[in-house]
Structure 1
Amino acid sequence: MSTLSEIVLIAAVIAAGLIAGLFYAYTCSVMPGLARADARTYVTGMREINIAILNGWFALGFGGAPLLAAVAAALHFKSDLRAALPWIIAGFVLLLVMLIVTMAVNVPLNNALEAGFDGDNTDFEALRSKFEGVWERWNLVRTIAGIGGFGALVGGLIAHVRA
């Protein structure tokens, strides 16, 4: 077994677990919690979350998971490590779906939420209604993709260890 391939795969599993867990937390706690709030609190809360999440810790999991999965796949092309390759490729693809959904749907919705905010002059109800349902549906898609990616990478790690 290659030490580098093991290290990269373990790092990919950890990063994928972190990002899947983050999106899972949104799905089962953050968004249901915000759903109970009035429109002003909902919009304000989402704006603050969108600002706060743009940090290095988030970037490590969000960008790092698919990148590390891609590197792990490349390192597993060796014949003695190929048993893990289908799992790792599946994990990479699912993490790529998570990334694409986020960049194609959730981020533009976040940007639209920000653009529609006009302080006390904001129509909070209208802004919330354009954002909430669509954002939450696509968050569920990226959550499922992230969890699937994490699970597939765990499968790859198990196959790697058994090889």
Structure 2
Amino acid sequence: MEGVRLAAVVAATVVTGLLAGTFFGFAVGVMPGLARMGDRVVVGVMQRINEAILNPWFLVVFVSNPVLAAVAVGVCVGSPWTVVGWLVAALVCSVVSLAVTVRGSVPLNDALAAAGPVERLAEAEVARVRRRFEAGWVRFNVVRAVASTLALGCLVVGAVLL
């Protein structure tokens, strides 16, 4: 049983690390870099990124993140309460990240896509689309990065204590 517990915690830790790294990369590199660019570039690049990220690799990691955290909690029931407590904290943080994505980031991504191809938009419209998207998306992404990083830390502590 210890092998199953450790495997579950390690699997949850790996996918959480991948997700936290993705959100962190956007928070500290991609979005600050795009912030220095013109409206047309920002809208066009984010439209392409939002299309590209909907791929099997990302979706498996994204969906399995809270699922594997829940599995880790489930198989570790009966372990010392400190282990289970850290794993539950990781699960809560993973669910927060998922909820922020579904309720915050995805609607902004959908609105960005609905604006249509950036090449067909007038300058004033591109500026409006950017204003309605960028600041909110950046805030939501920072929350996702923090929540995912906290989940990762909690999983690591849970694994060490296991």
TM-score range, shorter chain: over 0.9
Whole-Å Cα distance in 2 between the matches of residues 156 and 86 of structure 1? 8
| 1:90 to 2:89 alignment | yes
| One-letter amino acid matched to 1:102 | T
Question: 2:100 touches 2:144 (CA, 8 Å); kept in 1?
Answer: yes
Matched residue SS, 1:37: coil
Deviation at 1:57, TM superposition (A): 1.3
Per mean C-alpha deviation after superposition, the further-off stretch among 115-124 and 141-150 is: 115-124
Matched residue SS, 1:154: helix
Question: 2:27 touches 2:142 (CA, 8 Å); kept in 1?
Answer: yes
Question: 1:76 touches 1:82 (CA, 8 Å); kept in 2?
Answer: no
The residue that corresponds to 2:150 in the other structure is: 148
Question: 1:91 touches 1:152 (CA, 8 Å); kept in 2?
Answer: yes
| 1:38 to 2:41 alignment | no
Deviation at 1:117, TM superposition (A): 2.2
Write the deviation string for residues 16-66 of structure 1: whole angstroms up to 9, x where unpaired. 001000000000001011111111110000000000001111122211121
Matched residue SS, 2:119: coil
Question: 2:104 touches 2:140 (CA, 8 Å); kept in 1?
Answer: yes
Whole-Å Cα distance in 2 between the matches of residues 39 and 129 of structure 1? 9
Identity of aligned residues (%): 38
RMSD (CA atoms):
1.2
TM-score (norm 1): 0.93
Write the deviation string for residues 115-137 of structure 1: whole angstroms up to 9, x where unpaired. 11254342111100000001101
Write the deviation string for residues 100-128 of structure 1: whole angstroms up to 9, x where unpaired. 00000100000001111254342111100
1:49-64 matched pairs, under 5 angstroms: 49-64=49-64
Whole-Å Cα distance in 1 between the matches of residues 151 and 161 of structure 2? 15
State the aligned residue count: 159
* Unmatched segments (≥5 aa) in structure 1: none
Whole-Å Cα distance in 1 between the matches of residues 26 and 89 of structure 2? 24
The residue that corresponds to 2:139 in the other structure is: 137
Whole-Å Cα distance in 2 between the matches of residues 76 and 82 of structure 1? 9
Write the deviation string for residues 43-96 of structure 1: whole angstroms up to 9, x where unpaired. 000000000001111122211121101001000112x45431000000000010
